[in-house]
Amino acid sequence: MLKQRIFTALVALVALAAILFLLPEYVARLIIAVLLLLAAWEWAGLLLLKAAWQRVAYVGLLLALGIAIFVYVPETLPATYFLGAALGWWLIAFVWLFFHPTAIPPFVGWLCGALVILPAWYSIDWLYLRGSDTLLVVLLIVFAADTGAYFAGKAFGRVKLAPAISPGKTWEGAIGGMAVASVVAILAAIHYGGRLSVYLPLFLAIALLSIVGDLTVSVFKRRAGVKDSGRLFPGHGGVLDRIDSVTAASPVFALAVALGAVT
């Protein structure tokens, strides 16, 4: 299983590099949109929408809302307002996790899907348009935190982080992930000539929220009684399984970039 995960991860990294640095801008943006819409399809499955037309309708709804956001947000308010609202949602999600399990009415499940996927779509696209390397930074933070958490958890994991939501996660793993994210912060501060006093707490906050994103999606996976949201990536699950951490991390990093806190 580990070999399969590593192979899939390497293939995904090569594909990511090609998307960010080799493909024309409009193609890369289209691929980003398709991936987020695939995540919406998988979220519809977590809502227990079995009929294909129901899932298509949910994806169509998020597509329409996404287009509206891309058309009207830049014309009516600064990106910081929308990204700040996205951060507000993830802070609410963070608090919500402490009350798990809670009843989730169907409408709330539909709404949560939109709040998870649409800000991530906007943020990833917004960061990409400001430079492939800018988007790459937040992806590196999440990758570093996930990798550090995985290996630290395997080696030292004893105390469960959120056993009712994700039994495999441990406090030791989370600390390991934060430690590796700290290394990325130091390297980024050196590379961009920024202040470590800004980069370090920001990157740690992003790493923390990436865990919140992961756990939030896990809440809905447990509710649906599934381990993975999909089967697109062997050993890694579906699109939503791969970007659950990014959904929470990307709006925060984009907000920091929009405010000029980081390059």
Burial class (CB in 10 A: 0-12, 13-18, 19+), 22: exposed
Kindly provide the residue ranges of all beta strands, DSSP E only, lying in 65-198, ordered along the sequence: 160-162, 166-170
Cα torsion angle, 235, 141, 205, 252, sign:
negative
Residue 165, classed as helix, strand or coil, is: coil
Largest CA distance in the chain: 53
57: number of CA atoms within 13 Å, CB side? 8
Residue 181 is predicted with a pLDDT of 96
Residue 61, classed as helix, strand or coil, is: helix
Q: Are 246 and 135 in contact (CB under 8 A)?
A: no
Neighbours of 111 (CB within 10 A): 13
Q: In DSSP terms, which residues pair with 233 in a beta bridge?
A: 237
What token pair was written down for 7?
């192979």
Q: For residues 188 and 263, give the distance between their C-alpha atoms in angstroms, rounded to a whole number.
A: 10
Residue 7 is predicted with a pLDDT of 64
Stretch (H or E) spanning 1 = none
Residue 78 is predicted with a pLDDT of 77
Q: Are 173 and 161 in contact (CB under 8 A)?
A: yes
pLDDT in tens, the chain (263 residues): 556 656 666 677 788 888 888 999 999 999 999 999 999 999 999 998 878 999 999 999 999 999 999 988 776 667 899 999 999 999 999 999 999 999 999 999 999 999 999 999 999 999 999 999 999 999 999 999 999 999 999 999 999 999 999 999 999 999 999 999 999 999 999 999 999 999 999 999 999 999 999 999 999 999 999 988 887 766 667 899 989 999 999 999 999 999 988 87
Q: For residues 226 and 206, give the distance between their C-alpha atoms in angstroms, rounded to a whole number.
A: 27
Stretch (H or E) spanning 82 = helix 79-97
Residue 150, classed as helix, strand or coil, is: helix
Q: For residues 219 and 165, give the distance between their C-alpha atoms in angstroms, rounded to a whole number.
A: 6
What token pair was written down for 2?
């580990």
Residue 9 is predicted with a pLDDT of 63
Place of tokens 């800000």: 119
